[in-house]
Chains A and B, each alone.
Chain A
Amino acid sequence: MGRPLQESELVERARAGDPDAYAALVRGHEEIAFRTAYLITGNAADAEDATQDGFVKAYRALPRFRSGEPLRPWLLTIVANEARNRRRSAGRRAALALRAAGEERPTGEAAPSPEAALLAGERRAALLGALGRLREDDRLVIGCRYLLELSEAETAAALGVRPGTVKSRLSRSLERLRSELGDDDA
């Protein structure tokens, strides 16, 4: 098989009307876009709709995409916008229910004792619980940076704020998370 196409080549082909090129682009970004939308809407069905509508709109907006710019933040802006519209029209506070995956990322260290594993599991659940109780703004900036591992620029795109705002908002949000966890008096 030949060399995989670069993203910029796929964008050019998609602009020229190649549906397979656009499908390949969507495939490459659908997971991060869906998870971003899920973080905003709090439910998978709305997140799926927002992601789908976002990618359809992005296709139609491709002529306005500036060549050479990174595609992911641009796509995230559009999908996150769809997600916010949906969340507003739903008119309810989404209770984001995230569960910690069974294990933390492998660190190469020896397996912890059952007691230590239990404590770590409780701490992870407490962390996610506290995150779920935060205001939406706080929750989203922490979710984008840590759970989705978006860059500051991508987080700014997803939240619809200036990149300079992300750092200060994140630090305030972490303070509030700390106090929600009851860690601040330690």
Chain B
Amino acid sequence: MRDLHEELTALSVEWPATPDVASAVAVRLTQPEAHAPRRRRRIGPAWRPALAYGLAALVAGFAVVMAASPDARSAVLEWLGLKSVKVERSEPVAPPPQPGKLGSGLGLGTPATLAEARELSPFLSLPTAAGLGRPDAIYLGAGSVALVYGERPGFTRAEGTGADLLVQEFRARVEPFIEKTVGEASSLERLTIDGDPAFFITGAHGFAYQGDQDVRFEQQRLAGNTLLVERADGLLIRIEGDIGRDRAVAIARSIP
């Protein structure tokens, strides 16, 4: 007879992504008890912007302290959940993407083959989600790899990138090096994916990132739906495409 105890112990399950309960509870606790809604406050258009605004306000509120104290700065970002990402609330501005080779003009770095990418960026790990296959174009940045997927069945081309899917992997650091500007039209949801903190941002938002100081490039462009996951192993994953939260989470989970 098989050892059921051992089998059950070894079994791991795909749980749904944990919603941002802490922020929702914090919002509800600011309301008087009698007026606190007893029914669900679903993550939805009605209050998501409020949450995003709350997070942004928190960042702004700590700006002065942050300037004076890097410790306080990292503490706040830690509280927000992602150390390498800074989210600000204002209307994003960006030039439209340049036409040309898939992914070019997005400021992703220099084009590379898969073999070159593997050699120069040992942290690279390809998503294994069904239907993706190998990326059509790869770009290397400073401490980052971008995987660009052209036409894929079941996906639609995202306007912001001109590709069906963009997956970026960064070696995360304590200092925030990805900045996102979330406008009124977009919303931000904090998630936990298998214990790792994550953000899902829907709607167009500004996106810029800064590489190492000597190999510096900055890019400001409008990004579409984006999932950011900061894994415990130090890899920051960014997935952008015209896809919903659950699909983006599944793709992130398929990265070994």
Contact = CB atoms under 8 A, between A and B. Distances in A.
Given A23-B25, A23-B79, A30-B18, 10 more contacts: A26-B21, A30-B192, A48-B40, A49-B40, A52-B21, A56-B25, A100-B14, A101-B12, A124-B11, A142-B8
Interface string A14-35: 0000011011101100110111
Interface string B1-35: 11011011111111110110111111011100100
Interface string A87-110: 000000000001111111101000
A7 to B, nearest CB: 15
A105 B18 contact: no
Contact of B22 (A27, A44, A124, A127): A27
B1 A186 contact: yes
Interface residues of A, number: 50
Contacts of B18: 30-31, 34-35
B39 to A, nearest CB: 8
A42 B10 CA distance: 22
Interface in B63-113: 71, 74-75, 78-79, 81
B133 interface: no
Nearest to B254: A102
Contacts of A147: 8, 11, 13
Kindly state the interface size class of chain B when it binds its partner: 35 or more
B74 A1 contact: yes
Contacts, number: 119
Contacts of B15: 35, 38, 98
B41 A52 contact: yes
A5 to B, nearest CB: 11
Given A104-B11, A128-B11, A142-B8, A183 B1 contact: yes
B13 A98 contact: yes
A142 B9 CA distance: 10
B42 interface: yes
B42 A128 contact: no
Contacts of B143: none
Nearest to B10: A104
B79 A20 contact: yes
A45 interface: yes
Nearest to A79: B21
A162 interface: no
A35 B25 CA distance: 17
